[in-house]
Chains A and B, each alone.
Chain A
Amino acid sequence: MALTLKTIIQFPIFASPPPHQPHHHRPATEIRFSRWNNANAQKFIRHERTQKETEDELRFIKRFESAGKIANLQPTNTTPSPFKSTGTPSAPSRPSIPGKKSKYSKPPQNPNPSSHPAFKRIVRTRKLPTENEDETGIKLGDKGLSYVIPEAPFEFQYSYTETPKVKPIKLREPPITPFGPGTMPRPWTGKKPLPPSKKKMDFDSFTLPPPHKKGVKPVQAPGPFLPGSGPKYVQSREEVLGEPLSKEEIDALIKGCLKSQRQLNMGRDGLTHNMLDNIHAHWKRRRVCKIKCKGVCTVDMDNVRQQLEEKTGGKIIYSKGGVVYLFRGRNYNYKTRPVFPLMLWKPITPVYPRLIQRVPEGLTLEEAIEMRKKGRQLIPICKLGKNGVYSDLVNDVKEAFEACDLVRINCEGMNGSDYRRIGAKLKDLVPCVLISFEHEHILVWRGRDWKSMLTQENDPQGAKHPDTNTDADIDIDTDVGNSVVVVPSLESSPEDVTEEEHAETELINSTLNDMYGVESMTLDGSEDETESSSTVSENTSNHDCLEGVATLLKQAVHDGIAVVLDDSYLDADTVYARAVVFAQSAPPGSSFRHQRPKKAATQVEEKQEAEETNGKEVVIASERKKGEKTSRTRKKDLKDNYLDVAPQATLRVDELAKLLG
């Protein structure tokens, strides 16, 4: 039965009705409780009277009665009424009381978010360890998190190539070294320890186990040794490496390794500490360790190579793309190698400062927003796959900056942390500012202090080649950075002419110099004669070339292998028709013969021959079989001067043909 208090407006509105007291045999309670899981029920909270309260009440009653007796104000007319117990108010049964748990019900959930322990915000900031290096210490420096262990040759890090070179802000967990203690107690297995193995390993890297010995995996011999020397027991790094390897030795070593499947893989963590131990394990058996790098670490292959050489003490003999071949050293001995403690667990990464700030340095908020908007429409310069080799990425980004100040790289499909690491590396290697990582694309800006590579390239060239042309280049191409399309500047440099083509006065034609007259006027007075003659000779040579070609053409028309069309016939179809007709009537042309570059001795011979046969400039070779030359065996580029020697028919076959025909 629910006891409710109802106030009904019975009287005129202006007056508030007196509180209507329900007359029940029980005092009015404000507590609403239900017997049978009423929705309106409140939690049953029985206020248990403490001892103190009971005592206080009794004391109060006694004092009141005694005071009454004394004052005689209130005659106690009746004897104190006999105590009548009102009976214990019937307590509702256990299951129907909300808030009480029974075997039939669970206490109601109290979705009060502020009270759940999981949501309690307890900020536990760990203090960073101070910079004073204790004996074994965890150091948080500019190179990131590193561990200092006494008598270690270098500071240990989890990853030597991938640790960001920024000081971490804080550590998520208390710092502990990931290296186990010196002596690990044996975990309890419930059994006695195994007996020690009876294998007698007397073998050294230098005294090899005999081949085909049972139970021993193959070990490669130390070396390679130059004739007349053997393995040396040495300790220092340079001596372990020994003499620098000769090219043949390198080729032999690499050839043996190219097709082997035995390799170490380097992934997004780069060169980890435990990988050093793996490399030494490889070197126990073979001279060269092959390491394949894929993914994030390939962005900065130079750093990877340098760290490998430094930390392992080996030498890199070949590296291309993502593959590195590490040679262990001529005098490497597995027994005397430097041994480092292994990292038994992966340390928790500390918190580094954010890569992308909302307002990157050097920009205002509006500019940053503008850039992000623009970036959404930009075409990405390349798409990176998940475990690819990104060694060209830095160069590509640098080149792309020449064209536009924003660059976008598509990294869809990659791990989130991967492309963020790539972004962090790009920030350092290509000096640029990271703008956004949205939609799995990296958007970078080139920064305000960006200098184009092109203007820099001009200067060193100008220094190396004290040449008029490049100097003029610098003068003329002032806005190289802006203009993407290069407008070539025409420079004829008569001053560069040596005296090879000296004055052939019979061909001097002063009318031709009209075009070049401007240049001849600017020549220095002291060298006027020679230079003017050289210009003239140059003009003549050039003119000769043009004339030569024109003459050839005329000759061709004359011979009937060419025909000049009128202007009205220059429509594509008519040209084609005419060409077809003409081709049927014209004699077949000569075939192109390419002179193969030959050695110097034979070339001198050729030149002499060329002199003799110089009369025949126009080569009309007789029909030869096309399949004569093996065109696939050509390997070298043309490096010789074919300037003056026209492709003559000076081969042995041609001579034969001449003799026959």
Chain B
Amino acid sequence: MLYTVSISKPCIAYPKSTSQSQNPSNLKRIGLRVSATLREPNGVKVEYTPWLIVGLGNPGNKYHGTRHNVGFEMVDRISQEERIVMNTIQSKALIGIGSIGEVPVLLAKPQGYMNFSGESVGPLAAYYQVPLRHVLLLYDEMSLPNGVLRLQPKGGHGYHNGVKSVIEHLDGCREFPRFCIGIGNPPGTMDMKAFLLQKFSDVERKEIDAALEQGVDAVRSLVLNGFDDRITRFNLGQKYKYHKV
């Protein structure tokens, strides 16, 4: 990981406020400090509150590589790139902690079947005190063409049973960020469930692999910088990435 050195504009521009009592983060001095943020009035928030990155999928080798399990594949990819070992089982999910850059990150793969993913995610978020806006859900999206990724700060469930259950267990809130990985519509009159539990075709496999690479970059950017202009550009680029000749 390269750390870019940015030479600062000296902080003379900002009044050096010695007011330390403003920020209620001073409360955190006592006990465990799990979440902290350094905020600048008009600067980029570099938040160190941990992120919970959950990939949705069905457990077991039988479902490995199917369309519905792209979430798992994405999480595996992230754990490879960031060298986070996932070896702990907690609350019906396989988790691993680590950090992307300086931000602590918790990767999770719920081991309950898709419809019960929420039962793992809710308790995990509660236990590690991850705020709602730092719960990132990775899942497959049929409304996007194959291999197109999209990062949204909030959204609906899109008739995805996994997302529905997560929403239910997160107290009915939908305002958590999502990472949608497109898998395309089922062709013709194919049954939706059969389509989802099918493995990818060769062409699609290649597209998905490329997409996963790009996705890891995007997740890094999101975790470090939050939702900003880059994410919008990323989404735009993904939307039109197959319209090239």
Complex partner residue of B10 from A465, A527, A557, A594, CB under 8 angstroms: A527
Q: Is the CB of B16 within 8 A of A530?
A: yes
Complex Cα spacing A586 to B111, Å: 15
Name A375's closest neighbour in chain B (CB-CB). B245
Across the two chains, which residue of chain B brings its CB closest to A565? B87
Q: Are B123 and A592 in contact (CB under 8 A)?
A: yes
Whole-angstrom distance from the CB of A472 to the nearest CB of chain B? 4
Q: Per-position contact with A for B201-245: 1 when CB-CB < 8 Å, else 0?
A: 000000000000010011011001100011001101101111111
A490, B101: Cβ atoms under 8 Å?
yes
Query: B59, A579: Cβ atoms under 8 Å?
Result: yes
* Given A552-B32, A614-B30, A501 and B245 contact (CB-CB distance below 8 Å): no
Is the CB–CB distance between B35 and A643 below 8 Å?
yes
Given contacts A404-B240, A646-B35, contact A611 B111 (CB under 8 A): no
B66 interface hit (Cβ, 8 Å) = no
Question: Once the chains bind, are A381 and B240 in contact (CB under 8 Å)?
Answer: yes
Min CB distance, A152 to chain B, in Å? 47
Which of B5, B10, B30, B127 has the most chain A CB atoms inside 10 A of its CB? Answer: B127
A202-242 to B contact mask, C-beta < 8 Å, 1/0 = 00000000000000000000000000000000000000000
B25 touches A643 (CB 8 A): yes
Contacts of B218 in A (CB 8 A): 486, 488
With known contacts A399-B240, A476-B4, A545–B104 Cβ distance under 8 A: yes
Contact across chains for B42 and A465 when beta carbons are under 8 A apart: yes
Chain A CB within 8 A of B8 CB: yes
Task: Verify A646–B129 contact, CB threshold 8 A.
Answer: yes
Closest to B16 in A: A499
Tell yes or no: B50 within 8 A of A by CB.
yes
Q: Does A23 contact B (CB under 8 A)?
A: no
Supposing A526-B10, A573-B60 touch, asked if A549 and B25 sit within 8 A by C-beta, the answer is no
A561 located at the interface, meaning its Cβ lies under 8 Å from any Cβ of chain B in the complex:
yes
Q: Please indicate the chain B residues that have their CB under 8 angstroms from the CB of A582 in the complex.
A: 89
| Residue among A486, A515, A541, A631 with the highest chain B CB neighbour number at 10 A | A486
Closest to B174 in A: A634
Query: Which A residues are in CB contact (< 8 Å) with B168?
Result: 631
Rounded to whole Å, the gap between the CB of A540 and the closest CB of chain B is 9
Chain A, range 554-584, C-beta contacts under 8 Å to B: 556-557, 561-567, 570-573, 575-576, 578-580, 582-583
Contact flags A489-522 to B (C-beta < 8 A → 1, else 0): 1111111111111101000000000010011001
How many of B's residues come within 8 Å of A, CB to CB? 107
Q: Which residue of B6, B36, B243 contacts A542 across the interface (Cβ within 8 Å)? A: B36
Residues of B55-109 whose CB lies within 8 A of A: 59-61, 64, 86-95, 97, 99, 101-104, 106
- A599-635 contact mask (Cβ, 8 Å, vs B): 1 or 0: 0000000010011001101110100000001011010
B91 contacts A500, C-beta separation under 8 Å:
no
- Closest B residue, CB atoms, query A583: B92
Q: Are the C-beta atoms of A495 and B36 separated by less than 8 Å?
A: no
Is the Cβ of B24 less than 8 Å from the Cβ of A496? no
A498 CA to B16 CA in the complex, in Å? 7
A647 touching B131 in the complex, CB below 8 Å, given contacts A530-B16, A575-B89, A614-B27: yes
Q: Enumerate B147-200 residues with CB–CB distance to A below 8 Å.
A: 154, 168-173, 175
The answer to whether A644 and B89 touch across the interface, beta carbons within 8 angstroms, is no
| Contact between A564 and B88, CB atoms less than 8 A apart | yes
Complex contact B173–A594 (CB within 8 A): yes
Is A656 part of the contact surface with B, judged by Cβ < 8 Å? no
Nearest Cβ on chain A to B29's Cβ, whole angstroms = 7
| A563 close to B60 (CB less than 8 A) | no
A2 to B30 CA separation, bound complex (whole angstroms):
131
Q: Which residues of A contact B224 (CB under 8 A)?
A: 488, 490-491
A541 touches B241 (CB 8 A): no
Please tell me if the beta carbons of B9 and A495 are within 8 angstroms of each other in the complex: yes
Query: A504 to B28, alpha carbons, bound, how many Å?
Result: 12
Q: Which residues on B sit within 8 Å (CB–CB) of A472?
A: 4, 6
Write the nearest CB–CB distance from A572 to chain B, whole angstroms. Answer: 5
B154: chain A residues within 8 A (beta carbon): 637
* A643–B127 CB distance below 8 A: no
How near does chain B come to A177, taking the closest CB pair, in angstroms?
47
- Which of chain A's residues have a CB closer than 8 A to the CB of B37? 641, 643-644
Known: A589-B124, A592-B170. A576 touches B59 (CB 8 A): yes
Q: State how many angstroms separate the Cβ of B125 from the closest Cβ of chain A.
A: 5
Of B89, B229, B243, which one neighbours A381 at CB under 8 angstroms? B243
A472 and chain B: residue at smallest CB distance: B6
Q: Which residues of B contact A (CB under 8 A)?
A: 1-11, 13-14, 16-20, 22-40, 42-44, 46-50, 59-61, 64, 86-95, 97, 99, 101-104, 106, 111, 121-129, 131-133, 154, 168-173, 175, 214, 217-218, 220-221, 224-225, 229-230, 233-234, 236-237, 239-245
A-B residue pairs in contact (CB < 8 Å), sample of 24:
A399-B240, A484-B240, A485-B217, A485-B234, A493-B8, A498-B38, A502-B18, A523-B8, A541-B38, A545-B34, A545-B36, A545-B50, A545-B104, A546-B99, A549-B128, A570-B86, A570-B87, A591-B122, A592-B126, A641-B24, A643-B131, A644-B24, A644-B28, A644-B35
Which 4 interchain pairs have the tightest Cβ spacing?
A631-B172, A589-B123, A488-B221, A495-B8
